[in-house]
Amino acid sequence: MAARDPTATRPRFAPGYGISQEEDGMLPWSWVTERLEASRNYWIVTAGVESRPHAAPVWGLWLDGAVLFGTSPDSRKGRNLARDPRVVIHLESGDEVVILEGEVDRAPIDERTADAYEEKYDLRPPGKELLRLRPRVAYAWIEQDYPKTATRFAFD
């Protein structure tokens, strides 16, 4: 199921960042999805015991408006997400920034998902389900054109 494009606005950063309130220069959602689809590694940030942050890279897919990724339930990030499903996912680049926020749920691995994962990583995903983040909010910008390109995307 294809998701609707989110609403683009300017991020609500502190005034010192110089973020314009004008629409000129904001990035289109297609710019974000191109990078999400092409990314090999996704950085997953979870909250551990006493809200201690934990970051780790994982393999995943951008498919049907969501990041799908796997992790062992016994891993630190797996235990963190079982306790608190809130997550931040960002891509590797600090030059072309994409940051997603929301809560994960579980998604069964169907043939289409398994095929897409195998095409990307030359390996079928292990197990019967993946974790799925359908973002509630996303941020994106191009460092070279920051703050002109700083864009916030809100999902219904």
Q: Using CA atoms of 119, 61, 11, 88 in order, give the dihedral in degrees to the nearest 10.
A: -140
SS3 of 16, please? helix
Spell out the domain ranges in the chain. 29-154
Look at residue 122 in the predicted model and tell me its pLDDT.
98
**Is residue 17 over pLDDT 60?**
yes
Supply the CATH classification number for the domain 29-154.
2.30.110.10
φ, ψ at 102 (rounded to 5°): 165, -155
Cβ 26 vs Cβ 6: under 8 Å: no
Residue 58's pLDDT band, with cuts at 50, 70 and 90, is very high
Return all residues near 32 (Cβ < 8 A) that are at least 6 apart.
98, 138, 140, 153
**Is residue 155 over pLDDT 70?**
yes
Residue 15's pLDDT band, with cuts at 50, 70 and 90, is confident
Of 55 and 18, more confident: 55
pTM above 0.85, yes or no: yes
SS3 of 75, please? coil
Look at residue 8 in the predicted model and tell me its pLDDT.
96
Residue 1's pLDDT band, with cuts at 50, 70 and 90, is very low
Each residue of 45-55: pLDDT tens digit? 999 988 899 99
CA–CA separation, 5 and 22 (whole Å): 20
Each residue of 85-105: pLDDT tens digit? 999 999 999 999 999 999 999
Look at residue 20 in the predicted model and tell me its pLDDT.
84
